[in-house]
Structure 1
Amino acid sequence: MSGVLHNVDQRTRLVGENRLEILMFQLSGRQLFAINVFKVQEVLQMPKLTQMPQRHRCVVGVVHLRGHTIPVIDLSQAIGMRPIEPQPTSTIIVTEYNRSVQAFLIGGVDRIINLTWDTVMPPPDGAGRNHYLTAITKVEDKLVEIIDVEKVLAEIMPYNTKVSSERLQDPTLTAAQGREVLLVDDSSTALMQMRDTLRQLNLKIHAVSDGLKALQLLKQWADAGEDVPRKLLMIITDAEMPEMDGYRLTTEIRSDPRLADLYVVLHTSLSGNFNLAMVQKVGCNDFLSKFQPDKLVDAVSKRLSSVDSVG
């Protein structure tokens, strides 16, 4: 599977073009699932699996790769499906999310395909497995379900949303009270994490689930005569979202004179080096890796300082 992943230079060509690559796979049945290729480090046959005492029920053990110990998560069980029995011939996907590396036990890899985000739709409302999806798409008339990995990981390794007391004592943050921010993320878990953190600053929060909804809301405000760059302290947007990604959203914002001066922070679980290059390419003001409450507050403080200096 080593030849199945593209290098960073190839990936950057998709950025700003509202495109993505997904790795499709099966779990314990025939249904096709997917995650973004950007998150994948490698796909390989299961190395020697070591059991762990008192592990989460969805963690089948750990493997040792290149000097690192990596937990292996049964992704099928984690999203409420029938568990997969790990075998020496099993396939795992090694991924990096939110500055941590983990492997997912799967049933088998299908392939990688290139899509446009406008062919990727939010999942329909409903119970069951939809709760673990960020999006759906169709490939050759087959339904492909894109998994909300951030929700899966948050349930297995809960995140702390509390801001440290020393950060909250920053006098710059007193100016945050009552200011408005727009959060854009297709993961309900990510939105909840950001809300819980930013509410500690008494910010007024607007939230939408993809870039297209965000752009429509911004244009709606502008059409109503509001000075949107003055109204919003900042926009904090995820990178990959159905219908319109965060890179394309930023490009569209910069192309509208009424919105062009908005302060946009890219907030994503993708690798830092990749996104630093993309921030410059599409014109974001800042980049922040998920999920770091203190760093998120630092980004707000940085923005407030720049507003004060302009004022």
Structure 2
Amino acid sequence: MTGILDTVNQRTQLVGQNRLELLLFRLMGRQRYGINVFKVKEVLQCPKLTAMPNLHPMVIGVAHIRGQTISVIDLSMAIGGRPTPDPANCFVVISEFNRTTQGFLVASVERIVNMHWESILPPPEGAGKGNYLTAVTNIDNELVEIIDVEKILAEIAPVDEAMSDKLAEEIAEAEKESEQEIVRRILIADDSTVARKQVQRAIESVGFEAVAVKDGKEAYNKLLEMAADGGVFKHISLVISDIEMPEMDGYTLTAEIRRHPDLKDLHVILHTSLSGVFNQAMVERVGANEFIAKFNPDELGAAVKAAVSKNKKSNK
């Protein structure tokens, strides 16, 4: 796999154009899978793995890679398949999700393909709630599945989803000082069922309601409906959006919000498992108010507080 990611740093110009690049791979069978290149740090032949006590069953060992100890997850097992035999002849995709670095054991890695988010579609309705997919697409007349990695990581290492009591009090105080009435309802857009639920439970822990949608296109259509029905601020106070989503990504959603005269004043928080300095530049370019890496409920709460506080009454 030498060289497959050599040009990854040159690919950042795709961000903000509703495009992405997928690294294609296979697990135990013929099915192809994809992962966003921006989440991939390295692909390598599976290194020597060290077994450790009390590891989650999906974690087959740890590897020491470039001075870092990384857990290696058998991706086939993680999505309910058979254990991967002979890891030494397989590959590890080193990736960064939600502020953590981990390796995913895969049988083979193929190539990188350039895609438009409009070609990335939500999973079929018949896939059921227990599936591990965030999206599907068609490449070379073959279905490619995009795995819900956030669901896998949440099962291996669950996180606390509630905001602190102190932060709840600060949000309530900021609301009292606001010049306008704050609607305690927030639009959440995320293609991961687990991520949507995490954000929903976090904001509900401080007394807000959630309007949850699964991608940017659905979010934008929902906002247009709200704008036509008495104005968007009658229905919600702000938007919390993932970046990677089928049909319309979070950057494009934000840019569309800023272009629309009835939506342009909405406070938009981009909340994503992506990381990297280029994201901060994109936040400014598309006009998002904040960028937060998943998932820390109090950081998310602080961003909600900032949204409420921007209408703070001036002291006279």
Pairing 1:262-277 to 2, within 5 Å after superposition: 262-277=266-281
Deviates more, 1:84-93 or 1:103-112: 84-93
The separation in 2 between residues aligned to 1:309 and 1:6, in whole angstroms, is 51
Pairing 1:89-104 to 2, within 5 Å after superposition: 89-104=89-104
The separation in 1 between residues aligned to 2:87 and 2:297, in whole angstroms, is 38
Match of 2:200 in 1: 195
Question: Which amino acid is the alignment partner of residue 204 of structure 1?
Answer: E
The separation in 1 between residues aligned to 2:314 and 2:251, in whole angstroms, is 26
The separation in 2 between residues aligned to 1:167 and 1:272, in whole angstroms, is 27
The answer to whether the 8 A contact 1:172-1:304 is kept is no
The separation in 1 between residues aligned to 2:161 and 2:295, in whole angstroms, is 8
The answer to whether the 8 A contact 1:70-1:102 is kept is yes
The Cα shift of 1:129 comes to 9.2
Match of 1:238 in 2: 242
Question: Secondary structure of 1:274's match?
Answer: helix
Deviates more, 1:166-175 or 1:62-71: 166-175
The separation in 2 between residues aligned to 1:67 and 1:33, in whole angstroms, is 29
Question: Secondary structure of 1:88's match?
Answer: helix
1:81-129, Cα deviation, whole Å (9 max, x unpaired): 1110243232000000010000000010011101001111100123579
Match of 1:172 in 2: 173
Question: Secondary structure of 1:254's match?
Answer: helix
The Cα shift of 1:7 comes to 5.0
Question: Secondary structure of 1:13's match?
Answer: helix
The answer to whether the 8 A contact 1:177-1:203 is kept is no
Match of 1:222 in 2: 227
Question: Secondary structure of 2:307's match?
Answer: helix
Mapped pair 1:74 → 2:78: no
The Cα shift of 1:163 comes to 1.9
Deviates more, 1:98-107 or 1:10-19: 10-19
1:287-307, Cα deviation, whole Å (9 max, x unpaired): 111000110110011111112
The separation in 2 between residues aligned to 1:74 and 1:128, in whole angstroms, is 23
Question: Which amino acid is the alignment partner of residue 228 of structure 2?
Answer: D
Match of 1:12 in 2: 12
The TM-score, its normalising length taken from structure 1, stands at: 0.94
Structure 1 unaligned segments of length 5 or more: list them: none
CA root-mean-square deviation: 2.0
Match of 2:136 in 1: 136
The separation in 1 between residues aligned to 2:70 and 2:104, in whole angstroms, is 10
Question: Secondary structure of 2:82's match?
Answer: coil
Q: 1:251 aligns with which of 251, 255, 280?
A: 255
Mapped pair 1:308 → 2:312: yes
Mapped pair 1:205 → 2:210: yes
Deviates more, 1:129-138 or 1:276-285: 129-138
The separation in 1 between residues aligned to 2:148 and 2:231, in whole angstroms, is 34
The separation in 1 between residues aligned to 2:250 and 2:314, in whole angstroms, is 26
The answer to whether the 8 A contact 2:163-2:206 is kept is no
| Change in 2 beyond 3 A, CA 1:222/1:103 | same
| Change in 2 beyond 3 A, CA 1:51/1:177 | farther
Match of 1:183 in 2: 188
Question: Which amino acid is the alignment partner of residue 165 of structure 1?
Answer: D
Mapped pair 1:283 → 2:287: yes
The Cα shift of 1:5 comes to 2.1
Match of 2:42 in 1: 42
